Amino acid sequence: MHCIFYPQSIVVIGVSEKPDNLARTILLNLRTFSYSGALYAVGRERGEVYGVPIVPSLDEVPDGLDLAVILVPAPLVPGIMETCGRKGIRHVVIESGGFSEFSEEGRHLEEQLIEIARRWGIRFVGPNCISVVNLDAGVCLPFAPIGRETLRFGPVSVVAQSGGVSITYAEMFSAAGLGVNKVVSIGNKADLDEADYLAYLIEDPGTRVVCLYLESVDDGRGLMDLARRSEKPIIVHKANRGSASQSIARSHTAALANDDRIVSAAFRQAGILRADTFGDAVAIAQGLVLPPVRGDDLVVISRSGGHAVIAADFVDQYGFRLAPLPEEFVGAVRSLFRADVIAPTNPLDLGVIFDFDLYARIVEGALRMIRPDAVLLINTYSKTEAEGAHHLAHQVDRIVQETGMPVALCMYGEGGIARELIGQVSIPVFLDMGQAVRALAASRDWHRRRTWTGAMPEGGPGRSLPIDAPDGPLALCREYGIPVAPWAVAEDPDGAAEAADGLGYPVVLKALSARVVHKSDVGGVVLGLRDREAVRREAEAMRARVLERVPQAGDLRFLVQRMVEGGVEVILGGKQDPAFGPVVMFGLGGVFVEVFGDVSFRVAPLTRADAEEMMEEIRGKALLRGARGRPPADREALVEAILAFSRLLVENPSLAEVEINPLLALPQGVVAVDARWVG
């Protein structure tokens, strides 16, 4: 990978002297960014471009060059790759399109590339990509012209599945004053993929923040593992957010486990910061280059009262607290000017103060006396005040460097003059207070999560699955220590009545059939049966109802279960996700679970912190705490049940889906009353 980003010699293949030739632009970009290594060019005809001679054959360049960049029609690429292998060139960038993204014929060409690369030990970028940029070494390989004024050198590196997106991010990070270090467009990722680049950038000394743009996640668990081990923050802009499967769901879990919700949950677990837009990713990166925000206490200082009110809304939206202002601080502020112009509140409105030097002194005083986790300073100013306002920005920059405390500087200058500050100070300059608070929240969330995010816990050997037993899911739950209401299976109504006598009344009667997924939908559940005759009578009626609605349910049997009353109905679901493996779902359960969709997700195995967070994320968490005079649910028992269910899912990968619904969360303990699986 080092030779791709730091090549000492590069050959560009597909170059001509024609003005519209794309490959010649690659040489132009290398010259523009002062690449100092050896350059060679190969094309159909001899010539010269930007001082680089063009030769008609790769055989005329030296053996063992570090990097070949190929931009020729797709059918020619395999032959060129073969020659690269023979010439000892072990690193290649294929910018040509027309492969698996284009046609079946292109897919076969791509397979040839992979075979040739493996045979010669070649690692390659692409195909179908804009290529690689490394401003640290003057490497700029896109086939579109890029000016020096477009890209600024900085600490953010970008990996993107889209070439256009990679350039947009490079330009936006540069325009925000952050700058970029390395940029790679991975294209079809036939060889090197996002995990390979991420692993390199995590160790790269020039990279402080990594931003990934992904349209698909092929190895979600591998991505999570890399992120958990990383000492650097990782931002992921994941597009293509619709459900990847259009198949009809066979369970509540499959219906609710939209792939994108799993992606978001997995990223949170691994400490990955998810961005929704380009601007969101830039704001996150700006927050990450500030000193760390370690908690929720924020002080807002604003020149405009209206801006202060709007800022308070963002403070609430992102989970910050407005720290109270102690009398010592209020007194110090009042000593600077007339007392009647200052209200001792947070946000602190300094609207009638025109001395910007006082703003800097107030910021310093807030950091020293209040010791908040961060300060947001909002300044609005006219063109005539620009000199003083920009001097204030430099003072805030100095304060941040000297104190190591995060101050988000948000500037609203008349006619857009605040943009002039970007790049003149070492701290980010925010032009929108929402992005400023978002940035502080990203810093807080990253530093909070990295304190406890570690490797995934391991599962153990699976238990024996009672595959043929109609009550197998309940039996497996019990094997994993999840309490289950006592039950028995009966073949006919008389057997059901006999089983009820043995269990004790009242009981619940349920239909058991491989053809019946949701029992209540076909009249397959009757509650509160209190004597033998009622059980037998209801079993006869249930058989008739179910067979009328599901004629193919010829295997119908009955599950008789001691009735458990009270508690909150919750659901535990799980499935094997193609990208992330076993995934656990928790939420409010019962027959309306799909209607309300009040669920949360985590990739298994789970930690105790994961289980506790899942309970806090659902909207109905107040029910678990005891709403309207009801006793609270046994939180510890719920945590243990979630962790047990996680182990069940991890240790039995042959189960495509598992579901406990409902699991009754009682004041003391939990009880599973129904479960199902799909093998």
CATH number at residue 397: 3.40.50.261
Residue 23's nearest CA partner among 2, 44, 1 is 44
* Cβ density class 393-412: b for 16+ within 10 Å, e for less: bebbbebbeeeebbbbbbbb
Q: Does residue 298 sit in helix, strand or coil?
A: strand
Domain interval for residue 513: 486-562
Tell me which of 219, 240, 261 is where a domain ends.
Answer: 240
Position 255 scores a pLDDT of 45
* Residues sharing a CB contact under 8 Å with residue 594, sequence separation 6 or more, in sequence order: 252, 255, 256
Which H/E stretch holds residue 508? strand 507-512
Of the pLDDT bands very low, low, confident and very high (cuts 50, 70, 90), residue 148 is very high
Kindly tell me if the per-residue pLDDT of 254 is higher than 80.
no
> How far apart, in Å, are the Cα atoms of 493 and each of 158, 292, 503, 513, 550?
66, 67, 15, 15, 18
Does pLDDT of 618 surpass 80? yes
Say if residue 470 is preceded by a cis peptide, omega within 30 of 0. no
| Residue 215 within any structural domain of the chain | yes
230 in the same domain as 123 = yes
Of 164-173, 539-548, 593-602, where does mean pLDDT reach its minimum?
Answer: 593-602
Q: Which CATH number do you get for residue 94?
A: 3.40.50.720
CA–CA separation, 295 and 323 (whole Å): 11
Distance CA(92)–CA(70), nearest Å, equals: 7
Torsion angles phi and psi, residue 94, rounded to 5: -110, 105
Model pLDDT for residues 287-311, shown as the tens digit of each residue: 999 999 999 999 999 999 999 999 9
In this predicted structure, the answer to whether residue 464 has a pLDDT above a threshold of 70 is: no
Mean pLDDT across the chain, nearest whole number? 91
pLDDT digit string, tens, across residues 465-516: 765 676 788 999 999 999 999 999 999 999 999 999 999 999 999 999 888 8
CA angle 576, 259, 164 (to 5 degrees): 130
Spatial separation of the C-alpha atoms in residues 139 and 500, rounded to whole Å: 78
Neighbouring C-beta atoms of residue 242, cutoff 10 Å: 9
Q: Say whether both 300 and 232 belong to one domain.
A: no
Q: Is the pLDDT of residue 612 over 50?
A: yes
Are 174 and 321 in a shared domain? no
66/92 Cα distance (integer angstroms)? 9
Judge whether residue 246 has pLDDT over 50. no
Region 256-268: mean pLDDT is 80
User: Nearest-5° angle of CA 74, CA 76, CA 78?
Assistant: 90
Domain annotation covers residue 115 = yes
Which residue has tokens 């055989």? 59
115 pLDDT band (50/70/90 cuts)? very high
Three-state secondary structure string covering 320-349: CEECCCCHHHHHHHHCCCCHHHCCCCCCEE
Shared domain for 435 and 307, answered yes or no, is yes
Between CA 589 and CA 666 the distance in angstroms is 14
Residue with tokens 């209607």, as numbered in its chain: 595
Percentage of residues in the chain having pLDDT higher than 70: 93
State both tokens at 244.
């990847």
Residue 449's pLDDT is what? Answer: 82
The pLDDT score that the predictor gives to residue 259 is 76
* DSSP of 641-656: HHHHHHHHHHH-TT-S
- Decide if 250 is inside a domain: no
What is the band of 286 on the pLDDT scale with cuts at 50, 70, 90? Answer: very high
Task: Tell whether the model's pLDDT for residue 646 goes beyond 80.
Answer: yes
Domains contained in the chain, number: 4
Summarised one tens digit per residue, pLDDT across range 184-209 is 999 999 999 999 999 999 999 999 99
On the question of pLDDT at 244 being above 80, the answer is no
Asked whether residue 452 carries a pLDDT value surpassing 70, the answer given is no
Residue ending a domain, among 562, 581, 606, is 562
Whether residue 251 is predicted with pLDDT greater than 50 in this model: the reply is no
The pLDDT of residue 125 is above 50: yes
Does a structural domain hold residue 468? no
Do 369 and 499 sit in the same domain of this protein?
no
Which letter, b or e, does each residue of 446-457 get, where b requires 16 or more Cβ atoms within 10 Å of its Cβ? bbbbbeebeebe
Residue 280 in domain:
no
What number of other Cβ atoms are within 10 A of residue 557's Cβ?
A: 18
Tell me the pLDDT tens digit for each residue of 512-565.
988 887 888 899 999 999 999 999 999 999 999 999 999 999 899 999 999 998
Please write the tens of the pLDDT for every residue from 388-421: 999 999 999 999 999 999 999 999 999 999 999 9
User: 78 and 211: one domain?
Assistant: yes
Q: At what angle do helices 104-120 and 77-86 cross, to 10 degrees?
A: 0
CATH number at residue 490: 3.30.1490.20
254 in a structural domain: no
C-beta neighbour count of 114 within 10 angstroms: 14
Residues 111 and 225 in one domain: yes
**Beta-strand (E) ranges in 399-467?**
407-413, 429-430
Integer CA distances (angstroms), 263 to 274, 602, 608, in order: 9, 9, 20
Is residue 555 located within the same domain as residue 577? no
Task: Examine residue 519 and state whether it is found in any structural domain, yes or no.
Answer: yes
Q: How many residues does the chain have?
A: 679
- Under the banding of pLDDT at 50, 70 and 90, the label for residue 342 is low
Write the DSSP assignment of 4-18 as a string of letters: HHS-SEEEEES--SS
One domain, residues 548 and 579: no
Both 60 and 18 in a single domain? yes
CATH number at residue 631: 3.30.470.20
H/E run at residue 197: helix 194-203
5-50 pLDDT tens trace: 999 999 999 999 999 999 999 999 999 999 999 999 999 999 999 9
Residue 462 belongs to some domain of the structure: no
Specify the range with the lowest mean pLDDT, choosing from 239-248, 554-563, 616-625: 239-248
Residues 405 and 534 in one domain: no
Which of these three, 205, 240, 275, is where a domain ends? 240
Longest dimension (CA), the chain: 99
Mean pLDDT for the stretch of residues 343-352: 83
| Confidence at residue 451, expressed as pLDDT on a 0 to 100 scale | 65
User: H-type helices in 33-70, by residue range?
Assistant: none
Residue 278 pLDDT class (50, 70, 90 cuts): very high
Higher pLDDT, 413 or 246: 413
Question: Confidence class of residue 338 from pLDDT cuts 50, 70 and 90?
Answer: low
Judged against a pLDDT cut of 70, whether residue 375 lies above it is answered with yes
Report residue 258 as tokens. 């939209």
**What was the pLDDT predicted at 516?**
85
| 493 and 579, same domain (yes or no) | no
Query: pLDDT band for position 256 (50/70/90)?
Result: very low
Indicate if the pLDDT at residue 667 is higher than 60: yes
